[in-house]
Amino acid sequence: MSNVKSPHRFYIPVMGTGFTIDSALAVAKYSISSVVALVDDVLIEQMRKCWCERICEPYQAIPATEHDSRAKRITAYLNLLNNIVQKQIVKLKASLFEAGSDISRYFELLPDDGSEKQAYQAMLLESNEQKKQQLQQSLRQHIVPGSIDVNIMTKIDRPAFRGGEMLPYEYSDAAAALRGYAQSDLDSSVVFSAGFNPHLYGYLTQFEDFFPDQNNALKKRICLKVSDYRSATIQGKYLAKHGLWVSEYRIESPLNCGGHAFINEGQLFGPILEEFKQRKDEFIAGLHKLYQNALKNLKKLCPDKPHPVKITAQGGVGTHEEHEFLMNHYELDAIGWGSPFLLVPEVTNVDPEQLNQLLTAQPYLSASSPLGIPFWNIAVSASENARRQRIEQGTPGALCKKGFAKLNTEFGEPPICMASREYQQQKLLALKNDASLSTEQANALKEIVLSKSCICHDLAAGATIKNDIDLNVTGAICPGPNLVNFNKIVSLKEMVDHIYGRISLLINPNRPHVFITELRLQINYLLGEVKNASLGLPARSQQKLQEVKENLSKGIEYYQNLAKEKFTEHQEKFLDALKELRKELEAVLIPVLAQK
């Protein structure tokens, strides 16, 4: 989020490679922040061309053969987004306060108990025309755009080659994406997800925008998406020692989210948020000492006080009541709402076929991702249909069109993608020739190999089909499990009204609480790993699985105490659900075979 705080209490997190690639152009003028994925520079260049044509802006192509094309494409696109949003804000501020105008919509979308919304309502009630004009002018001065943040998946850091020779690190995918962002005009945050990448974090020091200016302000800020306090501590300290400040810790539920699910060791959402709440002050103070020492050694400006730090969260929140409880009890700055926005076509890029599929979709946690990370998927997508068809035709694996997931070196250099035909043919042959595997093991491993799908190309389909860029792509989509609670296409206003409790879009008012849903997902995942371990398939060690079980048990105890102290409505239902899940957890037997 930008240095000027948005009056909204939610943001739209990154979704896929293309679902939120231009969401800022729909929501930033209303002070709503969103996140652009910087994985696919091919799509980014296509979207830049599309928007230049749409607004009659001159377009000059940046071909892939041009030196440093990936970074240049990203910089050009982000500057375009920024320019469009700045013009939108100027136009919005100049518009009249009348029914249906953008400036009226700006304030109508705000939370009802916020100071800006109350000032707007006071203006509407003012009968004195001179005072009314003064109030309107004051309101205009308080308008701020939502932040155009970007996301870099630290694991997608494919090395670059030219003429068979590996290029220096700064040309790898993640580093080039970072450079593209760093050289843009944006005043916003880069969200790092998917874990710790010391090479990439070290490269941050090459860009002055991440260091304090003369006013101790950070033009570009760092946001870490983490799944527990320990991860935040390790990464935050590493960056502070390099003179880099983390301005936001974005806590994501490990399983109750869309896209990739980054599994932790059984720590649950509530206890994680509680630890951040209890330890925030000491955490920031400790980081600031490291930060000051590093800046002094670098001979850079050093603030006496820590920069602001935001604690935000995302993953499975589906009601206004859940949103408000998390915000207030855990003292959060904002909450991310992702998958429900896939049903808001004015905000996200979802093609008509995908929209219809989402209305009845049953997301499941799959092994589809070639990154080897659990991935939320739907079985009826065009991408999944094409994958199954290739298997039936005896040609499993996709033709690798973009190569962003070319990270596997199991069969030597250069790396290849696990969803590619090249990899799957070699891997299936290796499994066939492995005499040490039982029939059951071989079949299970074969299924894992065949499940991989081309997500780096197919996830762009929502954007390329909707914007008439490529109508032949077989689209993939990755909603989280929370999507099952919504079943109709809605407007931005309707979704925001749902978030702030002005209406309800839920199809099942008796849906389980977000904490219960996540606990169920964690137990199911543990059961899956136990089954794999029993079959001698890849799974965490016996010690790790036992640790997961113990952490889940501690989490249940935490939720029991929390419900008794804080839940007034639905307390009995919540406690009954916990009781049943505790029984299921206690029945889980960790096999010795899981030991590595």
Residue 594: predicted pLDDT: 38
- Helix H or strand E encompassing 46: helix 41-54
Q: Which residue has the tokens 């080897």?
A: 372
0.75 exceeded by pTM: yes
Q: Is residue 154 within 8 Å of residue 173, measured between CB atoms?
A: no
Q: Which of 236, 333, 248, 354 is nearest to 288 (CA)?
A: 236
Q: Is residue 315 within 8 Å of residue 256, measured between CB atoms?
A: yes
Strands 34-37 and 148-153: parallel
Please give the average per-residue pLDDT across 6-12, as a whole number: 96
Whether residues 330 and 371 share a domain: the answer is: no
Answer whether residue 493 is part of any domain. no
Answer whether residue 217 is part of any domain. yes
Q: Which of 460, 456, 463 is nearest to 398 (CA)?
A: 456
Answer whether residue 575 is part of any domain. yes
Whether residues 416 and 519 share a domain: the answer is: no
> Binning pLDDT at 50, 70 and 90, where does residue 509 land?
confident
Query: What is the spatial distance between Cα 177 and Cα 369, in angstroms, rounded to a whole number?
Result: 21
Residue 164: predicted pLDDT: 83
Flag whether pLDDT at 1 surpasses 70: no
Q: φ and ψ at 560, to 5 degrees?
A: -60, -45
Cα–Cα separations (whole angstroms), residue 101 to 30, 98, 314:
12, 6, 31
Q: Is residue 366 within 8 Å of residue 508, measured between CB atoms?
A: no
Query: What is the spatial distance between Cα 393 and Cα 371, in angstroms, rounded to a whole number?
Result: 25
- Among the candidates 313, 341, 369, a domain finishes at 341
DSSP 3-state of 221: strand
416 DSSP β-pair partners: 408
Cα–Cα separations (whole angstroms), residue 105 to 114, 305, 531, 571:
15, 37, 52, 37
At position 89, the amino acid (one-letter code) is I
Whether residues 256 and 361 share a domain: the answer is: no
Whether residues 371 and 394 share a domain: the answer is: yes
Flag whether pLDDT at 367 surpasses 50: yes
**First and final C-alpha spacing in the chain:** 43
Task: Give the structural domain span for 107.
Answer: 10-341
Whether residues 378 and 453 share a domain: the answer is: yes
Whether residues 290 and 357 share a domain: the answer is: no
DSSP 3-state of 574: helix
Whether residues 401 and 545 share a domain: the answer is: no
Whether residues 537 and 568 share a domain: the answer is: yes
Please give the average per-residue pLDDT across 490-503, as a whole number: 98
At position 296, the amino acid (one-letter code) is K
Query: Per residue in 563-594, is it b (16+ CB within 10 Å) or e — as a string?
Result: beeebeeeeeebeebbeebbeebeebebbeeb
- Among the candidates 341, 362, 380, a domain finishes at 341
Whether residues 189 and 53 share a domain: the answer is: yes
Flag whether pLDDT at 123 surpasses 90: yes
Model confidence over 203-213: pLDDT tens digits? 999 999 999 99
Model confidence over 247-273: pLDDT tens digits? 999 999 999 999 999 999 999 999 999
Residue 593: predicted pLDDT: 56
Answer whether residue 367 is part of any domain. yes
Residue 163: predicted pLDDT: 85
Query: What is the spatial distance between Cα 343 and Cα 479, in angstroms, rounded to a whole number?
Result: 10
Whether residues 83 and 189 share a domain: the answer is: yes
> Binning pLDDT at 50, 70 and 90, where does residue 86 land?
very high
Answer whether residue 5 is part of any domain. no
Flag whether pLDDT at 575 surpasses 50: yes
Q: Which residue has the tokens 């100049």?
A: 94
Q: Which of 484, 526, 525, 515 is nearest to 578 (CA)?
A: 515
Model confidence over 414-449: pLDDT tens digits? 899 999 999 999 999 999 999 999 999 999 999 999
Mean confidence (pLDDT) of the chain: 96
Model confidence over 441-459: pLDDT tens digits? 999 999 999 999 998 899 9
Contacts of 81 (CB under 8 A, 6+ apart): 22, 24, 25, 36, 148, 186
Query: What is the spatial distance between Cα 420 and Cα 428, in angstroms, rounded to a whole number?
Result: 12
DSSP class of residue 100 equals T
Whether residues 304 and 363 share a domain: the answer is: no
Q: Is residue 39 within 8 Å of residue 153, measured between CB atoms?
A: yes
In order, the DSSP letters of 485-535 are G--S---HHHHHHHHTTSS---S-TTPPPHHHHHHHHHHHHHHHHHHHHHT
- Alpha helices by DSSP H, 215-373: 229-240, 269-297, 320-329, 352-359
Q: Which of 16, 41, 12, 17 is nearest to 28 (CA)?
A: 12
Answer whether residue 215 is part of any domain. yes
Query: What is the spatial distance between Cα 337 and Cα 344, in angstroms, rounded to a whole number?
Result: 12
334 DSSP β-pair partners: 312
Q: What angle do CA 246, 249, 253 make, to 5 degrees?
A: 155
DSSP class of residue 248 equals E
How many domains are contained in the chain? Answer: 3
Answer whether residue 357 is part of any domain. yes
Query: What is the spatial distance between Cα 488 and Cα 504, in angstroms, rounded to a whole number?
Result: 12
Query: What is the spatial distance between Cα 192 and Cα 243, in angstroms, rounded to a whole number?
Result: 17
**Longest C-alpha distance within the chain, in Å?**
88
- Alpha helices by DSSP H, 97-222: 102-108, 115-125, 129-141, 173-182, 198-203
Q: Which of 480, 592, 588, 590 is nearest to 524 (CA)?
A: 588
Six-digit token string for 231? 């991860």
Flag whether pLDDT at 153 surpasses 70: yes
- Among the candidates 459, 479, 499, a domain finishes at 479
Flag whether pLDDT at 360 surpasses 80: yes
Q: What angle do CA 10, 15, 20 make, to 5 degrees?
A: 80
Answer whether residue 304 is part of any domain. yes
Six-digit token string for 50? 């599309």
Query: What is the spatial distance between Cα 160 and Cα 169, in angstroms, rounded to a whole number?
Result: 8
Query: What is the spatial distance between Cα 246 and Cα 231, in angstroms, rounded to a whole number?
Result: 13
Model confidence over 212-236: pLDDT tens digits? 999 999 999 999 999 999 999 999 9
Cα–Cα separations (whole angstroms), residue 379 to 16, 388, 485:
17, 10, 18
Stronger pLDDT, 280 or 591, i.e. the higher one: 280
Six-digit token string for 162? 């030219």
- Helix H or strand E encompassing 559: helix 542-566
Q: By percentage, how much of the chain surpasses pLDDT 70? A: 99
Whether residues 209 and 357 share a domain: the answer is: no
Please give the average per-residue pLDDT across 43-51, as a whole number: 98
